[in-house]
Amino acid sequence: MGKNILRLYVDAVSITANVRGQRYEKCLELMNVMAEASVMSAVSVQNGEPQYLMLARRSPYQALTEQFPIYALLEQLASDEGNHTIITP
C-alpha cells in the first residue's frame, strides 16, 4: 500500500434480496426517511451540541456549518474523492 489513505467510517443501509412486496416498499420508505437531509441535520445536534459529525449526505453540512463552523472542514474531509471506506461487521 505505502500511501497514506484517509479512511472514513460511513453509514450504510441495505435490503436483503429475500425482502419482497410490501415489506420491500416499506424498507425503501424507511431508507429514504433516514437519508433525508432534514432528518440527518436534526439527529446531528442534541442539547445544542453536535453529536454526529460525519454525515452520509453532503447537503446537511452547510446548514450545520452556520451553527458549528467545524462542519465546513468535515465536509471537505467527507467529500474528498480519494477517501476509502472502513468496513466493519
Domain boundaries, the chain: 7-86
Per-residue pLDDT at 80 = 79
The packing angle between helices 59-67 and 70-79, to 10°, is 160
Residue 36 one-letter amino acid? E
Q: What is the pLDDT of residues 31-61, one digit of tens each?
A: 888 888 888 888 888 888 887 777 777 888 8
Per-residue pLDDT at 26 = 95
- For residue 56, give the nearest of 72, 82, 79 by alpha carbon: 79
Residue 9 one-letter amino acid? Y
pTM: 0.60
Per-residue pLDDT at 34 = 85
Sign of CA dihedral 77, 68, 55, 37: negative
Q: Quote the mean pLDDT of the chain.
A: 81
